[in-house]
Amino acid sequence: MTDVTSDHEHAARLRDAVVDELVDRGEIVSKDVEAVMRKVARHAFTPEASLEDAYHTYNAVVTKRNEHGRAVSSVSAPQIQAFMLEQAEVRPGMRVLEIGSGGLNAAYLAELVGNTGEVTTVDIDPEVTERAARLLAQAGYPDVRVLLADATEGVAAHAPYDVIMVTVGSWDIPPAWIEQLTATGRLVVPLRIRGLVRSVAFQRQGNRLVSTSARICGFVSMQGAGAHEADLLLVNGTEEIVLRFDDGLPADPGQLNNAVRSPRVEISTGVLVRRMEPVDTLQLYMATVLPGFCTMSVDAGLDTGLVAPRNKGFSMACVEGANFAYITTRIAEDDAFAEFVVHAFGPGGPTLAEAIADHVRTWDREHRGGPGPRITLYPAGTPDDQIPELPGGRVIDKTHCRVTLSWSPTATAAEDRATQHHTTE
């Protein structure tokens, strides 16, 4: 009995410490979200983890892996859950649909909607739904409706919803998710845009969705009808250098076969960032302005030094015909700053590198420190002349929707930027 009491008190201290940190960092801004994250026992939904692992601010707890060891279900990190709850703006009496079950997030939502609201959570995996239903009942939330289904069709039986919260990575937005929202409902979804995942809060406006915020995040990918795999291009025919394209390969990827046999070009951008400064908007800006945008990874075990990114696991890259380039950083002499540089290969490598460097400078001058792009979703087939964000933005065509990224210049003083202290992505 003493051990149980001790564990309970230890968990409460850890939970309060996590919430205190998230409040201090501005991830939690509302009293309602703060209250529910202090109240609900996170460790009750992560019995496979130690208390310390359960209450780690920035780590998810994996609850199921597939036969290849890849995570297919998890309880998201407190930081991710906090800002997604803030994005959702859930209020008492609301009807909420959660897509992707884990149990904990549904408990938070149940607390936020109160006795007059409804929470439905759905997942495609029977092991996941059984686990979620069992843990919710044990934690005192038997009224949460746990359903087994492929959520690409939503859950029409309990619609319309004031909020739909998706807790799995989604490449597309099925029509049902929009149709089952109320006229002013909100969709919060980890949306994959050209290989970049952002938790986007959308407000419904007729048949379109308009973003109100977007936060960098990571989630296990959606299964079932909504699953989508990126196309991989092996540069030079080996797995040393892999380019990932989220929306289809280049027209003639074989043109890159000889690119890496040319000398590597390096162009300095002159743009400096603190080593702990966020650059997630640069990623989205490059995805907007570069038609051949992709991401690059290097297999450390096969690395010959042919390419030299500082982050071997992820670099912004671009393919243009027989040329490809990527953005990396070079640490400045004082070790406090890093400079963006562009490496390029191919007969047109110098020209491509200069063009990318110019885009980095434009981001620095007009968008750095700003809120990022406005992301708007239109139904597939919407004509360009009915999308007011064009020209000036980019349309990304998916199966069910057209995603637009549009930017407004944001003037940010260099001295203000130099005081930022976050994480370089």
Extract the runs of DSSP E, i.e. beta strands, from 222-366: 231-235, 241-245, 265-274, 293-298, 315-320, 323-331, 337-345
The rounded distance, in Å, linking the Cα atoms of 118 and 122 is 13
The rounded distance, in Å, linking the Cα atoms of 413 and 334 is 22
CB 198 within 8 A of CB 178: no
CB 81 within 8 A of CB 107: no
The rounded distance, in Å, linking the Cα atoms of 279 and 285 is 10
Q: What is the DSSP-derived secondary structure letter of residue 339? A: E
The rounded distance, in Å, linking the Cα atoms of 123 and 307 is 41
> Which of the residues 73, 74, 76, 101 is marked catalytic?
76
Residue 17 parent element (H or E): helix 2-24
Place of tokens 């096969």: 302
Q: Is 76 a catalytic residue?
A: yes
Residues 6+ away with beta carbon under 8 Å from 16: 38
Q: Name the residues annotated as catalytic.
A: 76
